[in-house]
Amino acid sequence: MKPVVILLFSAIQLLCYAHAQLPRISVKGNEFVANNAPVVFHGMSTSDPDKLVRDKHWDKQYFEEMKNWGANLVRFPVHPSAWRRQGQDKYLALLDQGIKYA
């Protein structure tokens, strides 16, 4: 249950941050649209933020490379063992940092 709450919290944070900077995305027929133009999501999944920190890859350049590959949506997996190792406050700070990088 806790991972679901954490993911929901992270998604809400992401939506709030995105809302301040991006146009509203809605559904029209069978398409996502923003400003009446179709939006196509090109998503990528990262490794767990804790692993990326340990491997020294958790930085702006990592996210810039995903953008260079055409990604406009990023998924952060949350591994329970990494969550326990980092603790709630540190792990949420990592997720916040990743949202800013993305």
Per-residue pLDDT tens digits for 43-86 = 999 999 999 999 999 999 999 999 999 999 999 999 999 999 99
Angle between helices 88-101 and 60-68 (to 10 degrees): 40
- pLDDT for the residue numbered 22: 73
Strands 43-45 and 37-39: unpaired
Q: How many domains does the chain divide into?
A: 1
Can you spell out the DSSP letters for 53-92?
HHTT--SHHHHHHHHHTT--EEE----HHHHHHH-HHHHH
- Whether the model clears a pTM of 0.75, i.e. scores above it, the answer is no
Range of the domain at 69: 2-101
Query: Residue 96 and residue 62: Cα distance in Å, rounded?
Result: 15
Using 50, 70 and 90 to split pLDDT, how confident is the model at 13?
Answer: low
- Percentage of the chain beyond pLDDT 90 is 72
**CB of 70 within 8 A of CB of 42?**
yes
